[in-house]
Homo-oligomer: A and B are copies of this chain.
């Protein structure tokens, strides 16, 4: 049978393989079967480890670490339902292309299908939501098996990091004794390196594409998640073409710190209100459709005379509009730069000027509204965006929070980075993912904008902030329930159908939550007070909860007032 020394060497080889492929962080949940891997990761100087008891929070925390670092992150848990708790974060990682390395430990073959405690079928546990499932061999100490273990560690990280990036799952059957021999000499590092190429078009293809676009009345549409540096490249591309740019908030076009009148940050508000004389001749789309439903409806309404290009390196072609005429599989940044550098003919100013005019009218309309000067969920969200410091990190929750930012963010801001979980848009795991972001760059300004239901759903994640002193500022938009449903068709229901099933007030006193996890707590009473608190976070980071009391109905009324005003100004309908 397996001995302590074989298990130790075999797993150490795996860990070193992972390190050689770039793993620097690991999140561990306590358990017995996982003992040898947990201790080897904990003892390994090249890997920073975090420990979290709730595996669901642990996995979302790892997701946040990887989002902020751009690097693969390992996750480790014991056998049984522990692993099943990882599932929500794994689904999100798969949809948003985050390389999580999921390590589960398992009973060896002789203890399976026999009712052994904490044992269940872990084969392909995460179904189609991981890029690869590997059942590892039982540890053995032969050179062949140490080489195999090192090679799997190295290779699987590469699999996770190839385009489209995504999670992988390795299941380790382990026999007792589970305590490793920690005094054992570590095996020497190997030096295999992997160099990965990127999809690029040929010069001929690029020239042909430029010819098809330049000088035309076009629109650039940028979805997906991008760093500020990447966002700037898209803006430069728009400027070279002289086209307006529509984008998803996570594309960071509005938050990247580069000013440009071409950034249509208020598109969600005005695009369905305006009388458009002419459809665009060309649309270039990068990544998924932006979050704005109005932008989506507008894209959907374009006639077939608009030529639509869809650029996406993954080849997954996630285009719910199904109107693409040319799908281009190429690395987006290289492609955008190549086009930017080759465009010689700018489109006439009159095309973009009407867009700039719509954006400005919307800005003026917003400025006029008294609601924007008093504290409410909308004004608080706008303020959070404005008060982000250079290189700060803002995590935005799903449902209303990200929609407030999308609709109301002005393009003038410092360069900061916006993060979210927009693969599958769950409200589970937001707190932990934001804390993972914070743990990656704890010395920056770190802010989370979140509603009360999402906060409750992942309250357990707060233990990570307490244990690791993570200086996250949480701005809680508390409208006591599911505010998004007040914007959807469900709002037509009578109150005794609506409140118990959709409104779902939870009546939690969040000051107690703050106290439980040692966070500073403030209930913001005015926009000025919130502004001061946010300004302070630019220079002095700390773990704090700022509660903004909102009202579900008020959010809808304010939105309708804005749209009503624009309908009047912009003439359509």
Residue numbers in B under 8 Å from A316 (CB-CB): 115
Tell me the chain A residues, 277-299 only, with Cβ under 8 Å from chain B.
288-289, 291
Interface-central residue, A80, A123, A459, by most chain B CB under 10 Å: A80
- In the complex, the answer to whether A115 meets B289 with C-beta atoms within 8 Å is yes
- In the complex, the answer to whether A91 meets B81 with C-beta atoms within 8 Å is yes
Tell me the chain A residues, 468-508 only, with Cβ under 8 Å from chain B.
482, 484-485, 488-490, 492-493, 497, 500-502, 504, 506-508
How close is A97's CB to chain B, nearest CB, in angstroms? 12
Closest to A50 in B: B500
- In the complex, the answer to whether A82 meets B428 with C-beta atoms within 8 Å is yes
With A28-B501, A179-B489, A504-B51 already in contact, the answer to whether A80 and B426 are too (CB < 8 A) is: yes
**What is the size, in residues, of chain A's interface with B at 8 Å between Cβ atoms?**
88
| CA distance in complex: A95, B28 (Å) | 25
| CA distance in complex: A463, B452 (Å) | 13
- In the complex, the answer to whether A319 meets B506 with C-beta atoms within 8 Å is no
User: Which of B113, B114, B288, B424 is A80 in contact with, Cβ under 8 Å?
Assistant: B424
Is A453's CB within 8 Å of the partner chain B?
yes
Closest to A509 in B: B516
Residue numbers in B under 8 Å from A55 (CB-CB): 428
Interface string of A174-199 (1 = CB under 8 A from B): 00011100100000000000000000
- In the complex, the answer to whether B124 meets A127 with C-beta atoms within 8 Å is yes
Tell me the chain A residues, 312-346 only, with Cβ under 8 Å from chain B.
316-320, 322
- In the complex, the answer to whether B320 meets A30 with C-beta atoms within 8 Å is no
Is A456's CB within 8 Å of the partner chain B?
yes
Tell me the chain A residues, 66-113 only, with Cβ under 8 Å from chain B.
80-82, 84-85, 87-88, 90-92, 94-95, 111, 113
Residue numbers in B under 8 Å from A482 (CB-CB): 30, 53
Is A128's CB within 8 Å of the partner chain B?
yes
User: Which of B51, B91, B120, B124 is A91 in contact with, Cβ under 8 Å?
Assistant: B120
How close is A269's CB to chain B, nearest CB, in angstroms? 20
Is A553's CB within 8 Å of the partner chain B?
no
How close is A283's CB to chain B, nearest CB, in angstroms? 16
| CA distance in complex: A182, B493 (Å) | 10
User: Which of B95, B177, B288 is A489 in contact with, Cβ under 8 Å?
Assistant: B177
Is A457's CB within 8 Å of the partner chain B?
yes
| CA distance in complex: A488, B142 (Å) | 29
| CA distance in complex: A37, B36 (Å) | 47
User: Which of B121, B459, B463 is A506 in contact with, Cβ under 8 Å?
Assistant: B463
Tell me the chain A residues, 362-395 only, with Cβ under 8 Å from chain B.
none
With A92-B81, A178-B489, A501-B39 already in contact, the answer to whether A129 and B121 are too (CB < 8 A) is: yes
Interface-central residue, A81, A95, A429, A489, by most chain B CB under 10 Å: A81
Is A117's CB within 8 Å of the partner chain B?
yes
With A120-B129, A504-B53 already in contact, the answer to whether A85 and B428 are too (CB < 8 A) is: yes
User: Which of B128, B457, B502 is A54 in contact with, Cβ under 8 Å?
Assistant: B457
Is A448's CB within 8 Å of the partner chain B?
no
| CA distance in complex: A80, B91 (Å) | 8
Closest to A429 in B: B81
Is A56's CB within 8 Å of the partner chain B?
yes
- In the complex, the answer to whether B118 meets A424 with C-beta atoms within 8 Å is yes
User: Which of B28, B38, B84, B502 is A87 in contact with, Cβ under 8 Å?
Assistant: B84
How close is A85's CB to chain B, nearest CB, in angstroms? 5
Is A540's CB within 8 Å of the partner chain B?
no
Is A533's CB within 8 Å of the partner chain B?
no
| CA distance in complex: A182, B30 (Å) | 49
Is A513's CB within 8 Å of the partner chain B?
yes
Residue numbers in B under 8 Å from A113 (CB-CB): 318
With A81-B428, A424-B80 already in contact, the answer to whether A114 and B319 are too (CB < 8 A) is: yes
- In the complex, the answer to whether B116 meets A320 with C-beta atoms within 8 Å is yes
| CA distance in complex: A118, B424 (Å) | 4
How close is A244's CB to chain B, nearest CB, in angstroms? 22
| CA distance in complex: A223, B239 (Å) | 73
Tell me the chain A residues, 495-549 only, with Cβ under 8 Å from chain B.
497, 500-502, 504, 506-509, 512-513, 515-516
How close is A37's CB to chain B, nearest CB, in angstroms? 11
How close is A465's CB to chain B, nearest CB, in angstroms? 13
Is A425's CB within 8 Å of the partner chain B?
yes
- Lowest 9 CB-CB distances: which A-B pairs, in order? A115-B318, A81-B426, A84-B87, A114-B320, A81-B88, A84-B88, A80-B424, A115-B288, A87-B87
Mark A residues whose CB is within 8 Å of B.
Answer: 28, 30, 32, 35, 38-39, 42-43, 51, 53-56, 80-82, 84-85, 87-88, 90-92, 94-95, 111, 113-121, 123-125, 127-129, 177-179, 182, 288-289, 291, 316-320, 322, 422, 424-426, 428-429, 453, 456-457, 459-460, 463, 466, 482, 484-485, 488-490, 492-493, 497, 500-502, 504, 506-509, 512-513, 515-516
20 pairs, CB–CB < 8 Å, chain A vs chain B: A32-B490, A39-B497, A42-B497, A51-B500, A51-B504, A53-B504, A81-B88, A81-B91, A84-B87, A84-B88, A84-B91, A114-B317, A114-B320, A116-B320, A119-B424, A120-B129, A178-B490, A459-B459, A463-B506, A512-B516
Having A43-B497, A56-B56, A118-B425, one finds 5 other A-B pairs with CB under 8 Å, namely A32-B484, A53-B504, A87-B87, A178-B490, A457-B460
